[in-house]
Amino acid sequence: MKPPLSATEAAAAIDAGTLTAQQLVRDCLDRIAEREPAVRAWAFLDPALAMAQAKAADASNGGLLRGIPIGVKDIIDTHDMPTGHNSPIFAGKTTFGDAACIALCRDANAVIMGKTVTTEFANRHPGPTTNPHNAAHTPGGSSSGSAAAVADGHVPLAFGTQTGGSVIRPAAYCGVIGYKPTFGDFSRVGIKMQCHSLDTLGLMARTLDDIALLRGAVLKLPPVKIDRSIAAPRIGFCRTPLWADASGETKALLERTASKLAAVDVTFAAPFTNILDDHAAIMGWECVRNYADERLRNPDKVSRELMDGPVRKGLDVSFERYVAAQRKATAFKAHVDSLFDDVDVLLCPSAPGEAPEGVEFTGDPRFNSIWTLAGTPCVTLPAGAGGKGLPLGIQLVGLRHEDDRLLSTAAWAAARLSP
């Protein structure tokens, strides 16, 4: 396989007339045809529909994403493809409209390539996707197919969503860049809701420039380039209260990285050491109500894993506990904001370690859930491999609403860390 073009490179080549969208999409479809039997990243793919969009893109007059193929997590609505949510309730069903993020990408003349495998309703019950680096391991979840498809060169860009760690973790496990924006920036219209206080649409790509490109399209901004001329940023090293749960090689990687980046230690104040419990209370209370239609009208079509796990646990969360967690979350957001008084970004683990073996357990989101609750922008960068030869990642976390600064700092760090 020749190294796949990044979205930024491909868009430039299409603009310059040295590449057509049809050629690009055909190359991607060839790659998928070759690899899909092992990777199983796609829940729906219609090559003819993808090629028709590519043809239209070639005939169009530009657009930020002209001709660029995008993978779409299968909990995101598309008017011309089914949205299955990895659930028999929705299998084969097509919505009337596109999710807002899809409509905005189409407006930028992107090619909506197909739907990527998700866990059931972006919760825990897994799909069949495997890790492209080793098919005996999970790609992570819930945005399993998006991470695997980008990592394996099927598409340069993909959408995922994160309630706990469903963008950053699979991106880290598969060795690609994952990005979760500041809570509230990206529209969630047309995306299956799990927890309204947490769910965040995120992006996956193989380069930071590609993240910036897609971010611009989803926000409907003028093209924003990553600033690579910034002064050396101040990095905080936040082991988080969960440090003991990181593997030895993850700890070593982070310590080494912190040292290279001259990071200073930053710690959570004592009242927030158990903040993960509040994330769990909010997630449990909200998901039970947000899944009301599925679990009450079609209980036999919901997985036992969901009904006996998150739903049962969620029903045990009292309203008083939920309110206390929401109040704590408000205080936590303010506290996390204050961690940035003296640093530009925080460095922390992307995941406890390499992707676990098997595809049944999609891995532990704890190093992500805390930041999802905080509403901060996060990015994971590939950072070599672990003992089993699977990717490791480092996570950079920014101040809310400072996504541009986070991406610039990530580019600075990536340049500093590259061998």
Q: In angstroms, what CA-CA distances link 97 with 48, 77, 83, 158, 279? A: 20, 7, 11, 19, 32
Region 187-216 residues binding its own copies, contact defined as CB under 8 A = 187-190, 193, 196-197
Binding flags for its own copies, 376-415, as an x/- string (CB under 8 A): -------------------------x--------------
At its nearest, how many Å lie between its own copies and the CB of residue 27? 28
Between the CA atoms of 354, 356, 362 and 368, what dihedral angle is there, to the nearest 10 degrees?
A: -30
| Unique residue bearing structure tokens 């990642």 | 393
Query: Would you count residue 327 as binding its own copies (CB under 8 A)?
Result: yes
Burial of 82 (C-beta count, 10 Å sphere; 0-12/13-18/19+)? middle
Structure tokens at 144: 């399993």
Catalytic hit among 6, 73, 87, 146: 73
Binding window for its own copies (CB under 8 A); candidates: 3-11, 39-47, 150-158, 181-189: 181-189
Judge whether 87 and 125 are in contact, CB under 8 Å: no
Region 25-64 residues binding its own copies, contact defined as CB under 8 A = none
73 is catalytic: yes
At its nearest, how many Å lie between its own copies and the CB of residue 217? 11
Strands (E), 212-258: 235-237
301 is catalytic: no
Q: How many residues bind its own copies (CB under 8 A)?
A: 41
Residue from the set 12, 30, 220, 277 that interacts with its own copies by CB under 8 A: 220
Between the CA atoms of 232, 162, 3 and 103, what dihedral angle is there, to the nearest 10 degrees?
A: -110
Region 85-124 residues binding its own copies, contact defined as CB under 8 A = 89-90, 93, 96-104, 106-107
Burial of 17 (C-beta count, 10 Å sphere; 0-12/13-18/19+)? exposed
At its nearest, how many Å lie between its own copies and the CB of residue 123? 14
| Unique residue bearing structure tokens 């991470």 | 147
Catalytic hit among 6, 87, 142, 369: 142
Of residues 171 and 302, the one with the C-beta less far from its own copies = 302
At its nearest, how many Å lie between its own copies and the CB of residue 111? 16
Of residues 225 and 289, the one with the C-beta less far from its own copies = 289
**Vertex 151, ends 248 and 95: CA angle to 5°?**
120
Cα separation, 312 vs 289, in Å, equals 12
At its nearest, how many Å lie between its own copies and the CB of residue 28? 24
Catalytic hit among 144, 166, 303, 350: 166
Would you call 201 helix, strand, or coil by DSSP? strand
Cα separation, 86 vs 214, in Å, equals 25
Strands (E), 163-259: 177-180, 200-205, 235-237
Structure tokens at 11: 């868009």
Of residues 133 and 279, the one with the C-beta less far from its own copies = 279
229 is catalytic: no
In degrees and rounded to multiples of 5, residue 345 shows phi and psi of: -140, 160
Region 282-301 residues binding its own copies, contact defined as CB under 8 A = 286, 288-294, 296-297
Of residues 75 and 359, the one with the C-beta less far from its own copies = 75
List interacting residues with its own copies (CB under 8 A). 79, 89-90, 93, 96-104, 106-107, 184, 187-190, 193, 196-197, 219-221, 286, 288-294, 296-297, 319, 323, 326-327, 401
Query: Which residues are catalytic, by number?
Result: 73, 142, 166
